[in-house]
Structure 1
Amino acid sequence: MSNTKKVNIFPRTFWIANTLELFERWAYYGMFTVLSVYLTDPVSSGGLGFTQSQRGLMQGIATALLYLLPILGGAIADRYGYKKVLLSAFLTLASGYFAMGYFSTYATVFASFLLVAIGGALFKPIIVATVSKTTNEKNDTIGFGIFYMIVNIGGFIGPWAASRLREIDWVYVFIMCTIVILFNILLLWFYKEPKKEDESDESLADSLKRIIRNTIIVLKDGKFVLFLLIMLGMWTMYMQLFFTVPVYITQWVDTSGLYNALPSVLQSAFGSVKDGVGIIPPELMINIPALTIIAFQLIMSNMLKVVKPILSMIFGILGIALGFSFMSFSMAGITIVMGTIILAFGEMASSPRIQEYIGRIAPKDKVALYMGYSFLPVAGGNLIGGLLSGNLYASLSDKYIFLRDYLNVRDIKFSPEINNDNGLLFKAAMENMEMTKEQLNTLLFAQYNPGTIWYVFAAIGAVTSILLFIYNKRAV
């Protein structure tokens, strides 16, 4: 069968669902990949000036809810209908994105981000269910392959568009996200509700009771629960790609060499000029793993098909840890590039095998049920990862905390107005010490070694791999 014929076997609702997914991922990753920088950049630079600990708390709680609540969102959708709940999801998402761009206090931005998390939790299970209901055993492999490709396309376009818009003003990033989600409301006109396989009139309360009963069943399986607990370590480490790496690149990494190495066409497409120096924005640097996965996932999957899932996960997690370790070596942009590429190959070896492994260890009559709870370590990893990111970065890597310590030791003082803004303080220190930005960065990097944070997160990954190895030996 030709590729054209394969594509034509899907109903219209399948394509509408995938288009909704594309725009939702466009909006989410457009916001999420720049969020760490937006929250913590100095007010004088256009950011909100929150502390790293405040950032970590906000990101950890909101993203954990984003992965925990879909199980309730699915129950609500089954009760009230996919189309109605999708409309509610898009209105909630649009409100949240719009508010994030216009509020500036910690409480209001936090509340706005929670709205985005709730909207995303309503959206996620409906789209996956729609793709599932509009495919069958003959075409579900290519159907979900198309879905995965669409996710990555949206995940690439969003950060690229955000990197262009934030050069004008941060608020335009959130306006973009709002408009993209509102466009999904128009697409709902063409969305046809999939037929329900089960026509029972189960109430929402009964659905929630069923979810609780299923949860109890799953949590009674000690082997499965232990596996989920161990996998918390992987997701705690992995989420630093979004939580911590963007801030680290912004504060410490010199990407001018990468920018200068690009042809002029690519410089215009993927670079920007800041203070007269060409750079690669952090949101595009952390998109390197997505591009690597798109290019090599099929090759990696074919190479690893003879390797047991648990062994693939063990070495894959070690690969992610190695990637993070690599980022600590220097301030050069190439270390981030190499680190993220290594990380991507580790992700390709581990992440896709998790579902396969769960399918093998779950009771044959409960595979679908167990699969539904594979999100628990992702939610937990987001929560723990967010909290660790904020607190560890403040202790081990925050340039502005280091600068204040350096100035205090040398009894260099500035006015309260300058002290209260990190950006103004750094510029004043440059002038006082007669240094360029690069020289002051290098001095602080050499004295305080901010790359230590990557060894901590890599250690979490290494311990996770060791625990998985022991778990596998005991489980055999």
Structure 2
Amino acid sequence: MTLNQRFQEVRNGFSSTFWIANVLELFERLAFYGAKAILAFYLAKKVGLEDEAGALVGTFFTGVIFFLPIFTGVLVDKYGFKKTLMACFSVFAIGYFLIALAGMEWGQDIVASVGARNYVIAVLMFTAAGGSLIKPCIVGTVAKTTNESSRALGFSIYYSLVNLGGAIAPIIAYYIRQDLGIEYVLVMSSVTSLLLLLGTLLFFKEPAVAAGEGEQRTLGKVFSDMIMVFGNFRFITFLLIFSGFWIIFWQIFYLLPFYATDVLGYEKFEFLETVDAFCIIVFSPVLAVLFKKWKAFTAMTVGFLLASIAWVIVGAVPTVTAAVIGIAVFAFGEATQAPRFYEYVSNLAPANQVGTYMGFAFLPVALGSIGAGYLADWLRNNYMETNPAAMWYILSAVGFLSTLLMIVYDRTLVKRTA
């Protein structure tokens, strides 16, 4: 297929609803990753929750966002994509502003009335509850507005825009932080969410429901599926082990900003956070071709090893250049394993329950975020001033141990097939 033919396929092969959903996703990612880039740093330096900023963000924000989609898909089935998207952006618009309020002078009386920690936990969970609606809405819209021949390309466009938003947002966040103040990064995320609400109301059309799509899931069905999945020892063991990857990944947001400013003396920590997303955009298409014949487990193991080695580089040479190189190596490892993870999960699932099991594929992201937040606080409070290199070596050890456990798991619990 020539480049012109591919362009024609992109232009003519998708409905307007597909493109509107993807544009909404791009700007939602700009709002989300802009806030994410500064959130732990903001809670520690501006709100005064220095000792537990990572745990608060990792547990009550990111952890909730990636855990709740197991349940929120039911709301999408019940109320439809448009209404659910509008609810998501409404909560985001309010939630981001309430988080910003904790760092504003005129909001201090409100925060003090319940205590800074209690206030932050409440508004983080409120915002995350709304954010958990976005994944099933957008992914579901992409699935419903494409057919068998265009679906792969459709999801490729979707993931490219997600990564583009993740790459650009921290840069925008830096300039807002410098020009207006760190709390205004969250205000801009709030304003962006409000505009997304209006955009959804005016332009988004509910995708058509095809005949014979099957019965809608209920909360009772969700809970019965959870019991079934958690009863699969082999599958849950794998998810727990793989959460080790996300423990070391989330340090880009929970630990790296403090290391950049306090140890490296580099105030533009958002620029370091954006290296991973930009490298993913560059590396992913190339690695997909180079390693397409590898087994899924091989690609995952190599990717995990590279991600673990990356933090050794950051710890060994305390310079901005080494940090950039280390994050780029991490991104190389992430791009190697990430696409194959879902393939591996689908192969672990029983043949007639693949959809149910794939719904739990984000569980390691949530568990990893929770673990990463507590670990980041512990490392920062114990090693940042005395031995900062040790923080990164400990993270690497977590990665190497998780990789080893994956190999042991594959050799012992996974049934070998020809």
TM-score (norm. length: structure 2):
0.90
Structure number with bigger Rg: 1
**Structure 1 partner of 2:250:** 239
**Structure 2 partner of 1:230:** 241
The structure 2 residue matched to 1:210, chosen from 197, 221, 244, is 221
- Tell me by how many angstroms 1:187 deviates: 1.4
Contact residue 57 and residue 390 of structure 1 kept, 8 A? no
Could you say if the C-alpha distance between residues 208 and 5 of structure 1 is closer, same or farther in structure 2, counting changes exceeding 3 Å? same
The number of aligned residues is 396
Alignment map for 1:240-279 (pairs within 5 Å): 240-255=251-266
- Tell me by how many angstroms 1:146 deviates: 0.4
Contact residue 310 and residue 468 of structure 1 kept, 8 A? no
- 1:159 correspondence with 2:158: no
- Tell me by how many angstroms 1:30 deviates: 0.4
- Tell me by how many angstroms 1:324 deviates: 1.0
**Structure 1 partner of 2:112:** none
**Structure 2 partner of 1:192:** 205
SS at 1:23 equivalent:
helix
**Structure 2 partner of 1:410:** none
Identity of aligned residues (%): 35
- 1:363 correspondence with 2:350: yes
Contact residue 95 and residue 115 of structure 1 kept, 8 A? no
**Structure 2 partner of 1:5:** 8
**Structure 2 partner of 1:181:** 193
- Tell me by how many angstroms 1:107 deviates: 2.5
Q: Distance in 2 between matches of 1:318 and 1:208?
A: 39
- 1:382 correspondence with 2:369: yes
**Post-superposition CA distance 1:76-132 (Å, at most 9, x none):** 121122211211111100001111112243332332222221111022211110111
RMSD across aligned positions (CA): 1.8
The structure 2 residue matched to 1:17, chosen from 16, 21, 35, is 21
Gaps of 5+ in 2: 104-115
Could you say if the C-alpha distance between residues 33 and 134 of structure 1 is closer, same or farther in structure 2, counting changes exceeding 3 Å? same
The structure 2 residue matched to 1:172, chosen from 164, 167, 184, is 184
- 1:324 correspondence with 2:324: no
Could you say if the C-alpha distance between residues 463 and 302 of structure 1 is closer, same or farther in structure 2, counting changes exceeding 3 Å? same
Contact residue 326 and residue 339 of structure 1 kept, 8 A? yes
Q: Distance in 2 between matches of 1:208 and 1:34?
A: 35
Gaps of 5+ in 1: 42-46, 256-278, 400-447
Letter in 2 for 1:185: L
The structure 2 residue matched to 1:311, chosen from 274, 298, 302, is 298
- Tell me by how many angstroms 1:349 deviates: 1.4
Contact residue 25 and residue 151 of structure 1 kept, 8 A? yes
- Stretches of 4+ moved more than 3 A in 1? 197-203
Q: Distance in 1 between matches of 2:134 and 2:276?
A: 25
Q: Distance in 1 between matches of 2:364 and 2:41?
A: 26
**Post-superposition CA distance 1:317-352 (Å, at most 9, x none):** 111111011111233111101110111111111222
Task: Out of 181-190 and 107-116, give the one that drifted further.
Answer: 107-116
**Post-superposition CA distance 1:154-208 (Å, at most 9, x none):** 11222111110101212321221111111111211211111234689978xx700
**Structure 1 partner of 2:111:** none
**Post-superposition CA distance 1:261-297 (Å, at most 9, x none):** xxxxxxxxxxxxxxxxxx6x11111211111111121
Q: Distance in 2 between matches of 1:223 and 1:473?
A: 12
Letter in 2 for 1:4: F
- Tell me by how many angstroms 1:462 deviates: 0.4
Q: Distance in 1 between matches of 2:215 and 2:356?
A: 18
